[in-house]
């Protein structure tokens, strides 16, 4: 299993399910994975949307989907400085 592929599929599915909540995922990419953390690069103009009131729920949803796909627990960090 390649974690980048798992992330790509989760990102794509979530963005398609709810463009309003997760459309910004279409513009983000997986910058790196270090230890148990996914570092996601998000364009500066999408950061406000990324940190909307829905974001914490979305982050938990992403973590749950990663766990379901891999059996491993990961943290997620969004950062526009990585873009």
User: For 8-41, how does the pLDDT look when each residue is reduced to its tens digit (9 = 90+)?
Assistant: 999 999 999 988 888 888 899 999 999 999 999 9
- Helix%, strand%, coil% for the chain, nearest 5: 55, 20, 25
Number of domains in the chain: 1
Per residue in 58-81, pLDDT (tens digit) is: 889 999 999 999 999 999 998 899
What residue numbers bound the domain in which 60 lies?
3-79
Say which residue the tokens 């798992």 belong to.
6
Cross-strand partners of 41: 29, 79
Strands of the 37-41 sheet, one edge to the other: 29-34, 37-41, 75-79
Check residue 50 and give its pLDDT.
67
Average pLDDT score over residue span 32-52: 87
Report the CATH number that the domain containing residue 66 is assigned in CATH: 3.30.300.180
| 47 sits in which H/E element | helix 47-50
Are residues 69 and 77 in contact, defined by beta-carbon separation less than 8 angstroms?
Answer: no
How many Å apart are CA 27 and CA 74, to the nearest integer?
Answer: 21
């Amino acid at each position: 299993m390649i974690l980048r592929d798992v992330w790509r599929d989760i990102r794509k599915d979530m963005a398609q399910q709810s463009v309003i909540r997760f459309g910004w995922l279409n513009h983000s990419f997986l910058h790196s994975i270090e230890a148990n953390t996914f570092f996601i690069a998000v364009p500066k103009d999408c950061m406000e949307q990324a940190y909307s009131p829905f974001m914490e729920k979305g982050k938990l949803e992403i973590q749950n989907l990663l766990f379901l796909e891999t059996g491993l627990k990961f943290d997620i960090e969004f950062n526009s400085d990585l873009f």
